[in-house]
Structure 1
Amino acid sequence: MNNAPIESGNTSNSGVDVEDNSENEEDDDFDDDDNTPPSALFGSSRYHTDFVELGILGRGGGGEVVKVKNRLDRRIYAIKKILLENGKDKFLQNKKLLREVTTISSVMHKNIVRYYQAWVEGNYKTDASVDHTKKQSILYIQMEYCNTTLRKLLDENAISEMNQSEVWRLVRQIVEALVYIHSRRIIHRDLKPGNIFIDSDLNIILGDFGLATRRHEKSNNKITETEYPEMDAIYNAVEEGMMSSTKGIKGDTSYGVKADIYSLGIMIFEMFCPAFATYMERSETLNRLRSGTPDERFPAAFTTSAPPNAKEIIIWCLERDPTKRPSAEELLKVSRQ
């Protein structure tokens, strides 16, 4: 039975105290006081021994993210569970999945999700979505739990109800997180409102590094298309969409950190744009922003309500040529003005 930790320099987040908040005080009535110890129920399963599941936060093709409470410290955490299939043909796939552990364990920033520990166990029954008859292992990644996401706040019109200075504060926090990861040669590559978490104090927490990668010096500081699965297309940089052809921008079929900047431009637009009435309206508006003529890109409702510098920054971020887009450091300077 495999219950092996994944070693890293930051597996326990030692030296970092986790502040108490209301989220860690809820759900105190879960039944973990049964006379039967967890170890007797689940053998040597670290997951079942240490945690109680409180609910599903999200599911994907290869696993799920659950809200849990630690039986010992009684704090709330998020744990990502990812299936690791056996077989030689699955080796590369598993290696890519483990990239998230390596990436998030190397970062420590106030606006980036905190990583606590990760380990691999054998095939334990946890939920129907990860209940398999084949011999498989499950990768568990224990992370900071956040109350909500930027996507949810946008959908609930909470962002549009904020004053502009508060929206700028959120934008700057996203940019500060990008400055940090880009300085460490990390490209997030899946930047979208659903991966921007919000804590109980309404601070930005950049998360979900499942598609993140390091830029390798020997590959000219860029990454190539064949390494990664698809993302939400609406936030893709234009050079990523061109990767399906034999040539990218100026004949190049790879991209760098400026892909994150393009995605950020789309998000800044959403954050300053008045609430959309329907999903269709949102989709059509964002597609015009990406590919419309200069006069069509910005709807009248945005032009009349958003601060002028927001429009300028968005245009800068959405330059089709990545070399003409700002760096995260440059954006941080102008967003503070």
Structure 2
Amino acid sequence: MHKIIAFFKLIRWLNLLVAGGSLLLFQYFIIVPVIGIAPTLSHLQVWLLALSVMLIMAGGNVINDFLDLSQDEKYKPQNVILGKAISINFAPYLIVFLNVLGVGIGLWLAYSVGNLKLANVFLISVLLLWQYSVTLKKYALVGNAIVAGLCALVFLLPVLFEVQLVEKHIAPEAKYFILTQMKGYALFAFVITLVREIVKDLEDAEADIAYKYHTLPVWLGTRTSSIIAGVIQLILMIGIGVVMYVYWQTGLKNNFWYAMLFLQFPLLINLFPLFVARNKTDYRVQSVMLKVIMVFGVATIPVFYLFSKL
């Protein structure tokens, strides 16, 4: 039982559930209700697509922990799993298994919809996660942007696999709605993840300095980096505010108040402490808060759908 719990901690099971759940919610509460015809992917294929995403993410998490082991043992010993509950020698086999299975499922899904080019999405994702762990996370904003982009990709995948959008079998209004929602959620995921990744770099600044990383806090200092993260978050709040204005003008008051209470208000609460945070504990609180806000954002998919049925 102890090893099972350690395994789920190693792969960041909660993050995986958020990613897989986001994909499923987008498919079943945005694409399926408006598409007007039977979707390209069967229920089994949709769940396999979510599983593929989760497996590749899990593989990336194990790679990251494996390569960061010496650093984590010194600066975050309480978080170290490899070499304790799970053997270090087992890690490479686990990495290969998770990535091969994830890419294999993606390859089969691409073949099943008649577009093998889609398999490149999974292969490139694995390569990016590997390069992120080896090199790219050491450089200011580069690694942050890669992680943010891969999070945004979760909302693009169900649309990419809905080949009928390309073949024009769907009403223009439905296509416009699906693509607009995809862009909105992908942009939200990208920006809030970018902020969170900068905050995590702020939390790890001491270790990054010691290991000669070139992350934003190492390059510009924690104060300036905190301001940059705050400004990006403020831009996100302005964008959400524009959407809220549209909701209010079009009579979607329930959507407006949900966004106000569960997105804007928490973001506002998170904004000011971000400018004055000074230690690892402060940044850890900011990181957790941003993760909660991301979950609230994803939850708008089923919540807004239910509001539309009232």
**Given the two structures, how large is their TM-score scaled by the length of structure 1?**
0.24
Considering fraction of residues, name the structure with more helix. Answer: 2
* Higher relative contact order (CA closer than 8 Å, sequence separation 6+): 2
**Given the two structures, how large is their TM-score scaled by the length of structure 2?**
0.26
Considering fraction of residues, name the structure with more strand. Answer: 1
